[in-house]
Structure formats: structure tokens, C-alpha cells
Amino acid sequence: MSVTTHTPSPALPPPSRLMAGGPLGWVKANLLNGVFNSMITLLLAYLLVRYTISFVDWAFLNAIWQVPNDRFGRADTSSCRDIKGIGACWAVITEKHRFILFGTYPYEEHWRPAIVCVLFIALYIVSAMRRFWRKELVLVWAVTLTAIGLLMWGGVFGLSYVPQERWGGLPITLILATFGLAFAFPLAIMVALGRRSRLPAIKALCVVYVELIRGVPLISLLFMASVMFPLFLPEGLNIDKLLRAQVAIILFAGAYLAEVVRAGLQSLPKGQYEAAEALGLSYWQKTGFIILPQALRLVIPPLVNTFIGFFKDTSLVLIIGIFDLLTAAKTAIIEPQWQGFAVEVYVTVGLIYFIFCFAMSKYSAGLEAELNKHRKR
Amino acid sequence: MSAALSSSRHLGKPAIQLLGVNKWYGQMHVLRNINLEIAEGERVVVCGPSGSGKSTMIRCINRLEEHQQGQIIVDGIELSDDLKSLDAIRREVGMVFQSFNLFPHLTILENCTLAPIWVRKMPKKEAEELAMEYLTRVRIPEQANKYPGQLSGGQQQRVAIARALCMKPKIMLFDEPTSALDPEMIKEVLDTMVMLADTGMTMICVTHEMGFARQVADRVVFMDRGEVVESNTPNELFGNPQTDRLKLFLSQILRGH
């Protein structure tokens, strides 16, 4: 039997698919292949151009950015009314932006909620950076949140006291969302672990909590917190309305997040639990080092989905009379001369919500890629 | 030759005792009155057809499974619901799984140092040195900073062995360590296990690798339908099977060789 020497075939680069015939070739291959596809492409291009142009016209070219005052010192919005539907009246934002952002907080003290917003955003940015994920971060949070409380309430260091009823706007939204998620997330982890506990009492308690809270709309929980809860308190004892709403939001978000975390726990192979146990790790070591780090990575997309949902759901507090960003915006256009300019105000508020939610979304995508590096070869 | 050597080795006091152990999954009786005593330094291979209860038995030894009747005494401590004694046993018993079960989010080095640092309370630096020592022994020190997903199956299983050894266990359990491996990787894992056997470690190994059993085992235990059917030196067990069940099993596994 003869032995043939086998020469290995050389490794070749894959054929290039992208830009085979230059940009024009790409357009031809992807947008204009066939009569039907070409027609759809042209139709969509026409609609896109047409609506982009009319939006730019409305929002920028024909827009009014400022209005003069009339002889009573009120804004004269007649010029805005003349171009209604043709151009945007951004003057309402110019005029009312401080009310939208800070609500009924005393006007000359607006720098305080402004700093609070900056502090919140700085806190988010610092917490988002992995190199700051150390024990000290808890301290940073505690200090920042205390500073935020001091600034909002005042009454010390020469700051005038501002009761909670006068807070409003963006700081309220950020407070509700930040405290809400910061407390709901650990709660959710404990509840998710509890639902898988072998101890029947703990398991039952967690199941009852999740099912009860999930089965009720957030609005009714907020109502209960604001109307019913005080009835059960002893005479004279009064818990801050914002705090009650905050607790309702924490409980609600906790139940939803718990189910997301539980999904992550269940998706881990049993072998991971067994390997950790066989090494002699205690329950909390196993959970903290092996199970949660993997389970939470797996559920980053639904977690962030829930986070974003709750950031926006904080706007429901308007029904119990708390002045969050959206409520402040609605109230800003209650004066007769500004009535009818809701679109401009809602577009602006929507943009603010979008910036926060989009930032969360982009960050989570990056985090997911970063933390799941180990799964790539 | 090494079988002859090992049978003449002096074996110490019992490391593991199973006394009348019974276990059921629901109505299914999976372990039937198992009596087995394994001495310190003894190397036992457990074989038998699939579903015979081999894995269940060794998983009972570190209580990944609970037995319902009988006694299991490991390193002088009886297995019970008491968590303290369970922790004490798990510290002394290392385990290697069929599917490796490395922690995919930790590097190879972190996989090896986690338990020594947190369970044995070893300083981090010392744990890393120890881990590198064992990784060198299983001949993959250069992979220390990679993640498990970047290694081949054989390499992952060798890491799993090193990870268990880093706890400096007195007893090692192997649950079909080569069954999930491609043929060309089986040898590298078996070589590692032979090397470990040469250090005098007490080992229980569930495996179908009869060559390995002949080479290192002091005793081979044949299980079928939840019972220990025969238990003998490899030469006796393979050369002179006493029961029909073992004869049938041997004829089936030897057909493939």
C-alpha cells in the first residue's frame, strides 16, 4: 500500500459580500432589485423626505422661540397662535422651562433642585463605570443621597426649609426612579432566592408577595398608599406622601424584578450549583460568587426593560397629586395664554424621558457585551 | 505491573463506609442495600451499565444526593442533615463531574482559587501559588488567565481536577470524567488521573475506561440495578467474573475494543 503525502489546503479569506459593486451596486442589489421592491423603496423614500421636511419646517424654520410681554406683563402669545400648526411655539419652553423642571419649588431656590439633578446624573455615570464597582461605591451613594435630601429639604447650613409638598419636576422623577430601583433590585434578588428556598414558610411568603403585587395595578397601589394607608396610622402620625408613594413603587418594582431574576436563576445549569456545593462553598458564597453573577448577566435585557418601564411609570404618581416631571409639564400650560401649546411641552418632556431611557438602553447593551465576553471563544 | 504493586500496598483505616444504604427516586429503588468500605489511599473503580446507580452512589458520598436509609461515614463523620458536618465533609472530598462544571464567568485561576480563599480562608497570594502549582501538574499553567469557554474539553476537565485538588482534599470522587470527551482528549485526562493515583490519593472513579481500571485500581466494583454485584481486584474481576450479569456486561463493553 502506497502512502501519499497530503498537502494541507491553504486558508483562504472569506468572499467579500459587502459593497460588492461599490455603494451604487449595494443600492441596486438591496433597494432596487425588481419592480415591486423598487416601487416600495421609492414610496418610502418619498414619505421619509416629505415628513422630514415638514417636521423641520415646523420645529425649526417656522418656529417661534420667544414672545414679547403685553402691557400687563404677561406673555403675549398671539404671534404663536397665528402660526399654530405651521410652526412650533418653543416660546412656551423658553418661558416655562424652570417650572417644568422644578415645579413649584421656590423660584429663587431653583439652584438647589438643579444641583440635585446634576448630582443624580453624576451618580449614574460613576455607578455605570466598572472601575468604580467597589465597596466604596455604597458609601458614595449614601453620601450623595444624603446631600440630595439636604439640598431638597434645606433647613440646615443656612438653606431655607422647603416642605416636600413644594418639590416638583425632574428631581421628583429622579428621586422616585433612583430610590425605587435601588431598593427594589436587592429586594427582588432576595425574593427570587426566597421563591427557590427549601423552607416552605419563606417560599410561601415570597410567592404570596409576588402574586399579590403583580395582580394589582400600580395606580391602585398608589391610591392605597396615599388614601387608605394614612387611615390605619394612629392620630397625629403622618408619613410623608412622597415616601408612601416611594414605598409603593419599590414594592411594585420589586415583584416584577423578582420574576426576572428568578428566570435567570432557573436558566443556570444544575451542574453550576453542584460544583459550587461540592467545593464546600456555603449557600451565600455559592449564591454570591457563582449563581447570581451568572444569572444576572443572562437577564440584563429583561432587567433593563423593566428598569426603563419603571422609570416612566413613576409618572403615574400624578394621580395622587405628586408633582413629577410630567405633572409639572401639564400644569405649566394651564394659564389661559399658554393653553393649546401642549404638543411643544409634551415633545420636550418626552425628549427628557427619552434621553434617560435611551442612555439606559445603550449602557445595558455595552454592559451585556462586556460582561459576556467570557462566552466568546 | 502496577496492579500487582498496588494490591500489595498497605492500606490504612477506612476513609468511606457505606452501611446498608438505600435510596429511592419516588417509587424507583435506585440504591439497594449498598455496603462498601473504602480504605484510606485505596483506588476504587466503579463500573456497570447505565442506570445501575453508580453515579447516584458516589453523589451520595458528598451529599449531592440524599440517601434515605443506612449510614454513610466519610472521614469519620456521618452524613446527616447537620450542615456543619456536611461542610466539613465537602471540604475534604473533591469531585470531578462528567460535564466539567467549571464556572464560565471566572478565569481558570479564579476557578481554582475561589474555594481555597473562601472555604479554607487561605490568603489570596498563597491560593494563587497553590493553584499555579496544580495547574502546572495538570500541564496547563499557561491557560491560567483564560476563561473556561476558550479551552478544549480535555483541558477543561484537567482544570476541574486541579480545581478540586486546590482544596487539598483527602478523597477524590470522579463521576464519569471522560464520558463527555472526544477520543483524542480522553488520554490526557486519564494520564492526569494516573498521576494523581500515584500520589496515594483515596479515589473513587465511576468510569467505563477498563484500561484505567486495570492500571490503577486496587479494586473494581461492579454495580447493576442499584446493587453491588461483584467487588474484586481488577485482574480477578475482569478475568474471572462470577455472575452472569458481570459476564454479560464485560462481553458488551469488550465488544467495542
HEC states along A246-310? HHHHHHHHHHHHHHHHHHHHHHCCHHHHHHHHHCCCCHHHHHHHHHHHHHHHHCHHHHHHHHHHH
CA quadruple B194, B196, B199, B201: dihedral sign: negative
The answer, yes or no, to whether residue B4 has pLDDT greater than 60, is: no
Going by their DSSP bridges, the two strands B28-39 and B171-175 should be labelled as unpaired
Which chain B residues are closer than 8 Å to A300 by Cβ?
A: none
Q: How close, in Å, is residue B87 to chain A by CA atoms?
A: 6
Closest in B105, B115, B147 to A279, CB measured = B115
Going by their DSSP bridges, the two strands B219-224 and B227-232 should be labelled as antiparallel
User: In the structure grid, which three cell numbers stand for residue A275, read together?
Assistant: 460544583
Which range among A326-340, B130-144, B147-161, B209-223 shows the weakest confidence by mean pLDDT? A326-340
The pLDDT, as a whole number, for residue A17 is 65
Closest in B97, B105, B150 to A275, CB measured = B97
The pLDDT, as a whole number, for residue A97 is 82
Which range among B45-49, B55-59, B79-83, B218-222 shows the weakest confidence by mean pLDDT? B79-83
Q: How close, in Å, is residue B93 to chain A by CA atoms?
A: 8
Q: What does the alpha-carbon distance between residue B206 and residue B51 come to, in Å, rounded to a whole number?
A: 12
Query: Which residue bears the cell 436587592?
Result: A186
Q: How close, in Å, is residue B231 to chain A by CA atoms?
A: 27
B133 pLDDT band (50/70/90 cuts)? very high
Considering the four listed CATH numbers 3.10.20.740, 3.20.20.240, 3.10.20.30, 1.10.3720.10, the one that applies to the domain covering A169-326 is 1.10.3720.10
Average pLDDT of the residues of chain B: 88
Give the model confidence (pLDDT) of A201-246 as tens digits.
999 999 999 999 988 888 888 888 888 777 777 766 667 788 888 8
Q: What does the alpha-carbon distance between residue A249 and residue A221 come to, in Å, rounded to a whole number?
A: 8
B76 pLDDT band (50/70/90 cuts)? confident
Q: Do A280 and B64 touch (CB under 8 A)?
A: no
The answer, yes or no, to whether residue B257 has pLDDT greater than 80, is: no
Q: What does the alpha-carbon distance between residue A195 and residue A322 come to, in Å, rounded to a whole number?
A: 34
Which range among A367-371, B3-7, B11-15, B206-210 shows the weakest confidence by mean pLDDT? B3-7
Which chain B residues are closer than 8 Å to A374 by Cβ?
A: 104-105, 147-149
- What string of DSSP letters covers B93-157? EEEE-TT----TTS-HHHHHHHHHHHTS---HHHHHHHHHHHHHHTT-GGGTTS-GGGS-HHHHH
Closest in A275, A280, A293 to B87, CB measured = A280
Best of B90, B95, B105 to substitute, by most chain A Cβ atoms within 10 angstroms, is B105
The pLDDT, as a whole number, for residue B5 is 44
Q: How close, in Å, is residue B214 to chain A by CA atoms?
A: 28
Q: For chain A, which residues lie within 8 Å of any Cβ of chain B, measuring from their own Cβ?
A: 269, 271-272, 274-282, 285, 289-290, 293-294, 297, 371, 373-377
Q: Do B104 and A274 touch (CB under 8 A)?
A: no
The pLDDT, as a whole number, for residue A169 is 87
Greater confidence, B256 or A121? A121
Q: Do B119 and A375 touch (CB under 8 A)?
A: no
Which chain B residues are closer than 8 Å to A371 by Cβ?
A: 105
ipTM reported for the complex, 2 dp: 0.89
Which stretches of chain A drop beneath a pLDDT of 70?
1-2, 16-20, 73, 235-238, 375-377
Q: Do A278 and B93 touch (CB under 8 A)?
A: yes
Q: Which domains does chain B have, with CATH numbers?
A: 2-104+171-255 (3.40.50.300)
SS3 (DSSP) at A37: helix
Residues near A334 by beta carbon (within 8 Å), at least 6 away in sequence: none
Q: Do B167 and A277 touch (CB under 8 A)?
A: no
Average pLDDT over residues B20-32: 91
Q: What does the alpha-carbon distance between residue B186 and residue A2 come to, in Å, rounded to a whole number?
A: 31
Residues near B13 by beta carbon (within 8 Å), at least 6 away in sequence: B39, B40
The pLDDT, as a whole number, for residue A376 is 61
Q: What does the alpha-carbon distance between residue B77 and residue B82 come to, in Å, rounded to a whole number?
A: 11
Average pLDDT over residues B174-201: 89
Q: What does the alpha-carbon distance between residue B162 and residue B110 come to, in Å, rounded to a whole number?
A: 12
Going by their DSSP bridges, the two strands B14-25 and B28-39 should be labelled as antiparallel
CB contacts < 8 A, A to B, total 68
The pLDDT, as a whole number, for residue A371 is 83
B97 pLDDT band (50/70/90 cuts)? very high
The pLDDT, as a whole number, for residue A236 is 67
Q: Do A377 and B114 touch (CB under 8 A)?
A: no
Determine the residue of chain A that is closest to B121 in CA distance: A281
Burial A225-234, CB ≥16 within 10 A → b, else e: bbeeeeeeee
The answer, yes or no, to whether residue B30 has pLDDT greater than 60, is: yes
B94 touches chain A (CB under 8 A): yes
Q: Find, among B137, B111, B254, the residue nearest to B191 by Cα.
A: B137
Q: Do A271 and B97 touch (CB under 8 A)?
A: yes
The pLDDT, as a whole number, for residue A343 is 82
